[in-house]
Amino acid sequence: MRKPVRKAVIPAAGLGTRFLPATKAQPKEMLPLVDKPTIQYIVEEAVASGIEEILIVTSSMKRPIEDHFDKSYELEDTLEKKGKLEMLEMVKEISNLVQIHYVRQKEAKGLGHAILCAKTFIKDEPFVVLLGDDVVVNDENPATKQLVQAYNKIGCSIMGVQRVPHEEVYKYGIVHPAESQRFNGDSRMVKLTGMVEKPRIDEAPSDLAIMGRYVLTPEIFEMLEDQEPGTGGEIQLTDAIDRLMDRQAVYAYDFQGKRYDVGDKFGFIKATIDFALEREDLGQQVRDYLLKEILPRLEGERVSL
């Protein structure tokens, strides 16, 4: 009998050097989109997808992540005494979202090694991997839930992908689909024959880019345990998945949702603006500011050119 997908792994051990100096003394995963840390969006997506337990892979500098999802007695007591009951409820909800476990990646050996750190936690179950640099918005059907639903149909490892402009394929890991092997005619799910990391534009096997969401079978750990270092001298998850294809089918699923690369400064700014515009308490203010202050300024620059 096929085991259900109950567990998720969130790698969060990276140094976040692209956001220095902001990440000198705080984890990049705690940088807020408006007023919520990016990692909370990731955890909430997992919970909305039916995940019951989460393992966050951290490092020695990531203690604030643990504190954020822990109960804060002093803060809760202060909010209660001041009658700030809405804030109190919000704070309590964060610590009660889901059962979260932690393990430290003691050496920076790459994403594949970070996933390997989860072997004892996962045991022999299929599991989800959510990368914190990718925030995906789909309120009706979260990206991770779409992948879990796809797994429930086929019982194979699945890589979450989205189509990117062909001229941008060199920025991503690109999958090589076996076009004749779509699952039951599902236009969004296709069997893979391989992957290429950041290919040349004229050598890309498709426009389907890997986007930080995976459902993996536990056999991936066998691959990771003897995986040779790859790009950057690190143990790469994509290399292990590529080898897994020799033993069992691996599919790609073109999930639906607006994806933000919050590991990129411009992507982070775009997400912040869009999330602010969607807020009932901020949306109109931000919209007015953009229209009255920013747009005229840009129009003036265009005229001067």
Tens of pLDDT along the chain (305 residues)? 788 999 999 999 988 889 999 999 899 999 999 999 999 999 999 999 999 999 999 998 899 999 999 999 999 999 999 999 999 999 999 999 999 999 999 888 889 999 999 999 999 999 999 998 999 999 899 999 999 999 999 999 999 999 999 999 988 889 988 866 555 556 788 999 988 888 889 888 889 999 999 999 999 999 999 888 877 788 889 889 999 999 999 999 999 999 999 999 999 999 999 999 999 999 999 999 999 999 988 887 766 65
Are 234 and 276 in a shared domain? no
Would 230 be classed as within a structural domain?
Answer: yes
Rounded (5°) CA angle 118-46-16: 65
Domain annotation covers residue 107:
yes
Residues 215 and 76 placed together within one structural domain of the fold = yes
- How distant is the alpha carbon of residue 241 from its chain centre? 17
Residue 69 · residue 95 · CB < 8 Å: yes
* CA angle (194, 263, 206) in 5-degree steps: 25
Query: Do residues 147 and 128 lie in contact, with contact meaning Cβ atoms separated by under 8 Å?
Result: yes
Residues 181 and 233 in one domain: yes
The verdict on 99 and 119 lying in the same domain is yes
What are the structure tokens assigned to 76, written together?
């809760």
Closest to 238 measured CA to CA, from 223, 255, 256: 223
d(CA 85, CA 83): 5
**Residue 61: predicted pLDDT:** 87
Which pLDDT value is given to residue 203?
Answer: 87
Burial profile 119-148: b = 16 or more Cβ within 10 angstroms, e = fewer? eebbeeebbbbbbbbbbbbbeeebbbbbbb
Other CB atoms closer than 10 Å to residue 283's CB: what's the count? 13
Do residues 27 and 16 make contact, with C-beta atoms less than 8 angstroms apart? Answer: yes
Residue 39 covered by a domain: yes
How far is it, in rounded angstroms, from Cα 286 to Cα 84?
25
Calculate the CA dihedral of residues 211, 97, 37, 151 and round it to 10 degrees.
Answer: 0
Whether 84 and 71 share a structural domain: yes
| pLDDT of the residue at 304 | 62
In a domain, 2, yes or no: no
Say yes or no: 175 and 282 in one domain: no
Q: Three-class SS of residue 123? A: coil
Q: Are residues 81 and 228 in the same domain?
A: yes
Q: Are residues 110 and 179 in the same domain?
A: yes
Q: What is residue 68's predicted lDDT score, i.e. its pLDDT?
A: 95
Strand, helix or coil for residue 127: strand
Total domains in the fold of the chain: 2
Domain that holds residue 30: 7-263
In a domain, 1, yes or no: no
